[in-house]
Each structure stands twice: as structure tokens, then as C-alpha cells.
Amino acid sequence: MPNATVPDALALVVREAEGLDTRVQGDSDAALALLEGADRVFVHGAGRSGLALRMTAMRLMHLGLTVHVVGETTAPAIRQGDVLLVASGSGTTGGIVQAARTATEVGATVLAVSTTDTSPLADLAAVTLVVPAATKTDRSGSASEQYAGSRFEQALVLLGDALFHALWQRSGRSADDLWPSHANIE
């Protein structure tokens, strides 16, 4: 569209996000239980999915969970009792599937977010949350009018915030409890 506007594009993004609360498939209560019971949480995603999961990692850290981003120099090795939270639209991203395989081999549990529950990643995951979105290679426009995996990545941010919010509400802690005064670095 030669006359496309930002408000029109924003309306599209919002329209495609509407109804996400009723269209995510999978056992979200089991996902919450995995996160609540984890010794440590590791997050891993490639590209924009990885960036979206970093936002979730920060929120989970605000709850007091021990959280690591896979690939960071300070991330320890994953072990039994840990949860690996991963995202891959296709469920076939090589590095993500290999990380999930490694996690399961050492006794960690995998929580996956994808557009499908029939993939190598879903096969390794204890819980897979399926979001209604196109993968980055789907350019048909049938699942989303947005470019590549944009809808998936946006849904991943919203889902991460929803997981955080539910865990926060279950904790009974106030917003002030999550923002201690000594945490400010000047």
C-alpha cells in the first residue's frame, strides 16, 4: 500500500493480537506450575523470539526466580530440577531443538512456545503452548498480514507477560515487593 500509515499498521497489529487469550492452546496451568517449581529457569530463543524471551526472563527475575539466558557468559550449565523455556515458531530451529534435547538428557524440563504441537521441539517439551501465528517462513498471509514471524514474536511477548502476571498474582506480593529500593544502580 503506497499510502500506508502508522495508525493503520498499528490497528492491524492490535487486531491480530485480539483474542489471543482464548486462542493459545496447551496447558497454561501446567506451564505456571513448571515455572513455580523450577530450581532455575533458563530462556532460549533465536532472533526476535530470543529477544522476546529476554523480556520474560527479566520479569521472572523480578519475581525472585533464578533466571539465566542461554548463551550468556554467566549462564551455568542446566541440570535436573531446572526448566528451559524455549520458543520456536516452527518447532524445528536447530539450536533450540538441540538445547531442548540437552536439557531433557540432564533431567531438566522443557516448556516450549510454538505455532505447532507436532514438531521435534514439542516432542521434547513437557508442556507446549501453541500460539495462533505464522512461522517466519510462511509468507502466504493466511495466518497473519504482518511480515514473517511478527505475530508470533508479539504473541510471545504478551504470553510472557501473562505468565509473569499470573505468577505474580499467585504470589500475593505487591508491586513494591518486586521493586526493592536496594536494586537501583545509579
Strands 41-45 and 83-87: parallel
pLDDT at 136: 58
Domains, in order of start, for the chain: 25-166 (3.40.50.10490)
DSSP sequence for 65-129: --EEETTSTT-----TT-EEEEE-SSS--HHHHHHHHHHHHTT-EEEEEES-SSSHHHHH-SEEE
User: What is the longest distance spanned by two Cα atoms in the chain?
Assistant: 54
pLDDT at 130: 96
Residue 42 in 3-state DSSP? strand
Residue 31: CB atoms within 10 A of its CB come to 25
Task: Please tell me the least confidently modeled range out of 19-28, 122-131, 132-141, 149-158.
Answer: 132-141
Give the confidence band of 150 by pLDDT, cuts at 50, 70, 90: confident
Q: Is the pLDDT of residue 184 over 70?
A: no
- Residues taking part in catalysis: 153
Model pTM? 0.90
- Taking the C-alpha atoms of residue 168 and residue 32, their distance in angstroms, rounded to an integer, is 11
* pLDDT (tens digit per residue) in 62-93: 999 999 999 999 999 999 999 999 999 999 99
Average pLDDT, the chain: 90
Q: Is the pLDDT of residue 157 over 90?
A: yes
* pLDDT (tens digit per residue) in 3-56: 889 999 999 889 888 988 888 999 999 999 999 999 999 999 999 999 999 999
